[in-house]
């Protein structure tokens, strides 16, 4: 039997093994890599800050004063004395109603008064003469009483005549329809030659005063209660006049240049919406704000002297939607804190409960740590983080 091929194969394997042993001995002398260090996270230390507490509320503008112009006497419109859409002054004549019949009534009332005043002279003289004669019994007491009654009747006729003259004068003046307030007048609902009636339901025109102007905003009753509780515990402080300043954001997103003041707050809550009305007064010298415009009012509720603000990226939520934050304790380990959030202020959350001054909240590296993990905490640099987020990588050149 030929066994030489097998012997040759065994000798070759032994030679290869002998060559590998020195190499293995040399590699065994190299050091193995050590264990990785604790993960590095960026933290923000909680420090109390003084911040102004604001609330953004939707609202609509409305005129400061509104007056509907209606005729107080009936007649034909002879002339319209204003330009639609112009500014009018209080007392300015807007319409002229045909005054002919009212002028005649006024003249008739004056004539009746003159007749009564002319008759009273003789009646007064007779009454005075009869008073002297009745004392010496030259005339009867009845004749004197008749003369005295005639005098009183003549005086009453004069008083009635004066009242009639005044009523006729007022009606004649009402033929000149004037502006009850100063403001901007809208379109006219009648033209020259139209018949109008006294106190008709359709106004001839409407005048609105829009400098200043009202902005009526709605606030939920829950937000109102939260504000009252914050004021009660001293978390919020208002100015010495206890008045809140309000800024306005217009429909196109531009801020209104002038500030307004909160005038009053309605005491009734709408049962259908659960909200109450706040009325704010804004100066409007350039007539930028027109009645009916939508706007957003930024209401300064007060000042929180000990506010704790945490970046939004440092707040997470569990499966139930409850907010929490990861905090590095003094031993360098991660703790989970359930927190209560009040509102957002820019890119940060206002924390009302769950955090304390000095706590180090993790804002970067949250994904690679868990509660109880030992970490290396470094200060968070917001400026560098912003530059890293905004910097775009250079595009590769196509060949």
pLDDT, residue 265, reads: 77
**Quick one: what percent of the chain has pLDDT higher than 70?**
82
pLDDT, residue 35, reads: 59
Nearest alpha carbon to residue 184 among 216, 211, 214: 211
- The CATH code of domain 71-98+175-202 reads 2.40.50.100
Predicted TM-score (pTM) above 0.85: no
Distance of alpha carbon 183 from alpha carbon 252, whole angstroms: 26
CA atoms within 13 A on the CB side of 92: 16
Q: Could you identify the residue written with the tokens 């009745």?
A: 134
Distance of alpha carbon 367 from alpha carbon 348, whole angstroms: 20
Q: How many residues does the chain have?
A: 399
What is the DSSP pairing of strand 294-311 with strand 316-317?
unpaired
pLDDT, residue 246, reads: 86
- CATH class as words, domain 99-173: mainly alpha
Tell me which architecture the domain covering 52-64+209-304 has in CATH: Beta Barrel (2.40)
CB atoms within 10 A of CB 189: 14
In order of 65, 159, 200, the CA distances from 204 in angstroms are: 17, 36, 9
pLDDT digits (tens, 9 = 90+) for 196-248: 999 899 999 999 999 999 999 988 888 778 767 766 666 555 555 556 678 99
Beta bridge partners of 52: 303
Strand segments (E) across 286-390: 294-311, 316-317, 323-328, 334-338, 340-345, 348-353, 360-364, 376-379
What is the DSSP pairing of strand 183-185 with strand 176-178?
unpaired
Write down the domain spans for the chain: 43-50+307-382, 52-64+209-304, 71-98+175-202, 99-173
Taking the alpha carbons at both ends of the chain, their separation in whole angstroms is 69
SS3 177: strand
From first to last of its 399 residues, the chain has per-residue pLDDT tens of 444 555 555 555 555 555 544 444 444 444 555 556 788 999 999 999 988 877 888 999 999 999 999 999 999 999 999 999 999 999 999 999 999 999 999 999 999 999 999 988 888 898 888 888 888 888 888 888 888 899 899 999 999 999 999 999 999 999 999 999 999 999 999 999 999 999 899 999 999 999 999 999 988 888 778 767 766 666 555 555 556 678 999 999 899 999 988 887 788 888 888 888 888 999 999 999 999 999 999 887 778 888 999 999 999 999 999 999 999 999 999 999 999 998 888 889 999 899 999 999 999 988 888 999 899 989 988 655 555 555 444 444 443
> For the chain, what percentages of helix, strand and coil (3-state, to nearest 5) are there?
30, 35, 35
Which helix (H) or strand (E) segment holds residue 63: the answer is strand 49-69
Q: Contact 158/118 with Cβ under 8 angstroms?
A: no
- The CATH code of domain 43-50+307-382 reads 2.40.420.20
Distance of alpha carbon 219 from alpha carbon 265, whole angstroms: 10
Q: What is the DSSP letter of 88?
A: E
Q: Contact 350/56 with Cβ under 8 angstroms?
A: no
Nearest alpha carbon to residue 275 among 347, 341, 239, 222: 222
In order of 43, 102, 208, the CA distances from 178 in angstroms are: 71, 17, 14
Distance of alpha carbon 122 from alpha carbon 297, whole angstroms: 76
pLDDT digits (tens, 9 = 90+) for 351-389: 989 999 999 999 998 888 899 989 998 998 865 555 555
SS3 273: coil
């Amino acid at each position: 039997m030929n066994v030489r091929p097998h012997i040759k194969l065994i000798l070759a394997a032994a030679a290869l093994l002998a060559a590998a042993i020195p190499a293995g001995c040399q590699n065994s002398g190299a050091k193995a890599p050590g264990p990785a260090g604790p993960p590095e996270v960026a933290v923000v230390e909680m420090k109390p800050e003084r911040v102004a507490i604001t609330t953004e509320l939707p609202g609509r503008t409305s005129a400061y004063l509104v007056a509907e112009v209606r005729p107080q006497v009936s007649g034909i419109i002879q002339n319209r004395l204003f330009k639609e859409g112009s500014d009018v002054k209080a007392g300015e004549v807007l319409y002229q109603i045909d005054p002919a019949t009212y002028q005649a009534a006024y003249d008739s009332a004056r004539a009746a008064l003159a007749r009564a005043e002319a008759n009273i002279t003789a009646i007064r003289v007779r009454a005075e003469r009869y008073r002297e004669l009745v004392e010496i019994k030259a005339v009867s007491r009845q004749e004197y009483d008749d003369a005295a009654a005639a005098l009183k009747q003549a005086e009453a006729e004069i008083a009635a005549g004066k009242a009639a003259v005044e009523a006729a004068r007022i009606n004649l003046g009402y033929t000149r329809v004037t502006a009850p307030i100063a403001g901007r007048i809208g379109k006219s609902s009648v033209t020259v030659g139209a018949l109008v009636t006294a106190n008709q339901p359709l106004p001839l025109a409407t005048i609105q005063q829009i400098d200043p102007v009202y902005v009526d905003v709605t606030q939920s009753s829950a937000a109102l209660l939260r504000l009252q509780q914050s004021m009660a515990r001293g978390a919020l402080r208002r100015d010495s006049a206890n008045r809140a300043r309000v800024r306005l954001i217009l429909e196109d997103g531009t801020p209104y240049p002038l500030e307004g003041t909160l005038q009053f707050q309605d005491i009734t809550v709408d049962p259908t919406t659960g909200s109450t009305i706040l009325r704010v007064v804004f100066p409007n010298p350039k007539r930028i704000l027109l009645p009916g415009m939508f706007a957003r009012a930024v209401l300064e509720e007060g000042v929180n002297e000990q506010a704790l603000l945490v970046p939004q990226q440092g707040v997470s939520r569990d499966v139930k939607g409850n907010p929490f934050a990861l905090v590095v304790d003094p031993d360098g380990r991660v703790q989970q804190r359930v927190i209560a959030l009040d509102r957002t202020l820019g890119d940060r959350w206002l924390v009302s409960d769950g955090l304390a001054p000095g706590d180090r909240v993790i804002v970067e590296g949250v994904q690679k740590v868990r509660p109880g993990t030992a970490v290396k905490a470094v200060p968070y640099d917001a400026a560098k983080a912003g530059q890293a987020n905004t910097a775009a990588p250079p595009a590769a050149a196509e060949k």
